[in-house]
Amino acid sequence: MKCTKNYRLSYTDKAKEIVDKLSLEQKVHLMSGTVSLEEMLQDMNGGKHYNYIPYPAGGIEEVGLDPMLFCDGPRGVVCGTGKSTCFPVSMLRGATFDTELEERIGQAITMKMLNTGLIAVGFSTTVREITTGLFLLIILGVSSNQGRISDWKAKKQRAKEANEKYAAGIM
């Protein structure tokens, strides 16, 4: 399978066509998990950890959309044996303002997923959480190496760079 930008963008019209046919309720469903809290707790009480198996979310059978199966988060791959690497949460990583670190974490998570037999990596949740972490630090006006920062444009640029590096790491 090609993984070029042009190849990925070739699906834009098809995706728009599908989304245009969906009701508001269906669109909301696509952003929702289908595993209840009770089911998650039952897994954990059975000696397993959270997200031991990939949890489905979204999916609409009527239009041919399979659910996404989630097995990762901003701290790494969580499905499987419970022997995965756990990275610091995104807000803590954001406090380092180290964009190269984000790229290395993205690479490490990708390698773990591939070694686990997973074939696709999605990063929108993680990128959002990284951005949230960075912007929370920014709103607080804290920088790990400069104390208070007042230049909003520079802050936005740091968050953008971290997101791009993380995405580059998982590509």
Residue 91 shares a structural domain with residue 56:
no
Contact 96, 144 (CB under 8 A): yes
Instruction: Examine the fold and report which residue of 70, 99, 125 is the final residue of a domain before the chain moves on.
Output: 70
Instruction: Examine the fold and report which residue of 70, 92, 108 is the final residue of a domain before the chain moves on.
Output: 70
Contact 71, 56 (CB under 8 A): no
Measured over the CA atoms of residue 108, residue 130, residue 53 and residue 4, the dihedral's sign is negative
35-44, 80-89, 107-116 — which one is most confidently predicted on average? 35-44
Percentage of the chain surpassing pLDDT 70? 62
CA separation (Å) from 141 to 73, 136, 137, 138, 150? 26, 9, 6, 5, 7
CA separation (Å) from 126 to 62, 97, 130, 157? 29, 16, 6, 18
Q: Which of 10-14, 16-20, 82-86, 106-110 has the lowest mean pLDDT?
A: 82-86
Q: Where are the alpha helices (DSSP H) in 71-151?
A: 90-94, 99-116, 124-140
- Paired with 147 in beta bridges are 143
Instruction: Examine the fold and report which residue of 14, 47, 70 is the final residue of a domain before the chain moves on.
Output: 70
Q: Which amino acid is at 75?
A: R
pLDDT digits (tens, 9 = 90+) for 5-37: 787 778 788 888 888 999 999 988 888 778 888
Which pLDDT score is estimated for 24? 92
Helices and strands of the chain, counted as H and E runs: 8, 4
Report the domain count for the chain.
2
Distance separating alpha carbons of residues 116 and 79, to the nearest angstrom: 9
- Which H or E element spans position 20? helix 12-21
What's the pTM value of the predicted model, to 2 decimals? 0.48
Mean pLDDT, the chain, integer: 70
Average pLDDT over residues 133-156: 42
Cα angle vertex 71, ends 26, 24, to 5°? 10
Q: How confident is the model at residue 138 (pLDDT cuts 50, 70, 90)?
A: very low
Residue 101 shares a structural domain with residue 163:
yes
Residue 136 shares a structural domain with residue 154:
yes
Residue 59 domain boundaries: 1-70
User: 3-class SS at 118?
Assistant: coil
Q: Is the pLDDT of residue 155 over 50?
A: yes
Residue 145 shares a structural domain with residue 85:
yes
All residues at 6 or more sequence positions from 61 whose CB lies less than 8 Å from its CB, including other chains: none
Residue 82 shares a structural domain with residue 150:
yes
20-29, 46-55, 84-93, 104-113 — which one is most confidently predicted on average? 20-29
Residue 91 shares a structural domain with residue 149:
yes
